[in-house]
Amino acid sequence: MWSRLEPYKSSIILLIALVIGGLTGIYAPGLAVKLQPDRSDIP
């Protein structure tokens, strides 16, 4: 199965990363804030 998807592998990984990031932003905004680089204006 992977041999057929080989050309699309990078875009599939990108898509999965996007989905994970979006879900994290929706369901765990506190976690998303923690994952951002240090910004002292966030309590």
Distance CA 26, CA 21 (A): 9
Burial 15-34 (b: 16+ CB within 10 A, else e): eeeeeeeeeeeeeeeeeeee
Contact call for residues 39 and 32 (beta carbons, < 8 A): no
User: Position of tokens 């923690």?
Assistant: 34
Instruction: Write the pLDDT tens digit of every residue in 4-36.
Output: 878 888 899 999 999 988 887 787 777 666 766
Contact call for residues 32 and 25 (beta carbons, < 8 A): yes
* More confident of the two residues 3 and 16: 16
Q: Is the pTM of this model over 0.85?
A: no
Contact call for residues 24 and 31 (beta carbons, < 8 A): yes
